[in-house]
Every structure is written in C-alpha cells, then in structure tokens.
A and B are shown apart, each in its own frame.
Chain A
Amino acid sequence: EAQVTQNPRYLITVTGKKLTVTCSQNMNHEYMSWYRQDPGLGLRQIYYSMNVEVTDKGDVPEGYKVSRKEKRNFPLILESPSPNQTSLYFCASSGRRVPEAFFGQGTRLTVV
C-alpha cells in the first residue's frame, strides 16, 4: 500500500530538548516536504527536498533542520524546540510524474 509514515503521532517535550520526527515513503517519490498546520493559517511549508542530498527552505524554516540521506526518508529535526513550535506537522511526498501529494497522518507536537 502506498503510504507516508510519520512517527511519533503525538509528542510532548520541554523547551530546548532536541527531537526528531521521522518520515518515510514507499512510493519512490523524488519530492518530500514538511508542513506545519496552525489554526486559521492552513498548512505552511517548512522545508522541502527535490531529491537525495537536495533540500531547501520553505516559508517557515526558522528553528528546523532536515536531511535527505536516502530517497525514502526525510526526518524533521528541532534542535532546540520552543513553545511557538507547538503545532500539527505533516510530511508529504510527491513525484514528477505523480500529480498529487501524499500526506502522512500528522504529528501533534506540544512544547512546554
């Protein structure tokens, strides 16, 4: 089954404690990206990757890091989380020949 898998689904952490949210896709897609969803703002892109070792900033990259060492994986790293990063995060993948984005189930992050 084609899918994007994020882990964990829920995470509560404290300010400043580094965390990683994993994302994996099984569709051999070139493009992967991270979005955050906040009430009234829709989804905003944090970072995206066009292929292995190719990443670029989206609209709200501050406070986040990503890496793309393998085609299927695209982890999101928060080196020093702050309360304003409390949000719902979605990973997405898409391909040059695939006219849609596939989304993970979301990770609800709370930073206290």
Chain B
Amino acid sequence: AQSVTQLDSHVSVSEGTPVLLRCNYSSSYSPSLFWYVQHPNKGLQLLLKYTSAATLVKGINGFEAEFKKSETSFHLTKPSAHMSDAAEYFCVVTIYFNKFYFGSGTKLNVKP
C-alpha cells in the first residue's frame, strides 16, 4: 500500500527566505513521487517529479526536491520565496501510474 504524509498543513515564510515543505511517503515498491501546486481557484500544476533517476530533482520556478529512500522523504525546497509562491502544495506518490496517492496538502503563505 502507498500513502503520503505532509507534515505541515500550513507554512508561513517571509519573502526572500527559504521554503521547506516536508513530505514522507510509504510504499511497498519503488515509487515515483511528485509535487503539484494549486493556486487559489486553479487546477493542479506539476512542479517536479522523481521517477528513479537522479535523487535531486529540479522543477519549475526554482523549486527542487530530494528523494531520500532511507528516510522515506521527498521534501520540497526553494532558496528564496516569492509572493507568487503562495499556494497549496501536494506531495503525490504512485507505483503504476494508474492511481496517485495525495497528501493532505500544505498551504504556503508568503509574507511581504
């Protein structure tokens, strides 16, 4: 069985400071992992994905995530937050790409 735990439901940072959104996963097999972002009243946009290649994955808008098998983690980071990063972020795991398991989401607030 697969599952995802996003450790923080809300994260608040100041503009220009680093962002860390935490995600732990559980999977019986080698997973593929994703981060999606959802801006208010918008759909889901893929930020980045890990599919068993390099463990440090770079995505759009300066985000990156590192797959750590020993820690079963896939935390999302960005060196410097921008106001436009304020959104809800979802960590997602899948094995066979027919079913995607979502975390409960982390709302990122960016203060000026």
A99 to B97, CA, bound (A): 7
Q: Any chain A CB within 8 A of the CB of B12? A: no
The one of B43, B97, B102 that contacts A106, using a Cβ cutoff of 8 Å:
B43
Total residues of chain A contacting the partner, CB 8 A: 25
Question: Counting CB contacts under 8 A, is B90 at the interface?
Answer: yes
B→A interface (CB under 8 Å): 4, 6, 9, 32, 34, 36, 42-44, 46, 49, 51, 90, 92, 94, 97-100, 102-105
Name the one of A40, A50, A96, A101 contacting B100, with C-beta atoms under 8 angstroms.
A101
When the two chains form the complex, which single residue of A41, A94, A99, A105 contacts B98, counting CB atoms closer than 8 Å?
A94
Cβ < 8 Å to B, chain A residues 63-99: 90, 92, 94-96, 98-99
Beta-carbon contact of A90 and B97 below 8 Å: no
Contact status A48-B99, CB under 8 Å: yes
Q: Which residues of A contact B (CB under 8 A)?
A: 31, 33, 35, 40-45, 48, 50, 58, 90, 92, 94-96, 98-101, 103-106
Chain B nearest CB, measured from A84 CB (Å): 19
A35 → chain B, closest Cβ, in Å? 8
Given A98-B97, A103-B44; A42-B103 close (CB under 8 Å): yes
Contact status B97-A96, CB under 8 Å: yes
B43 in contact with A104 (CB, 8 Å): yes
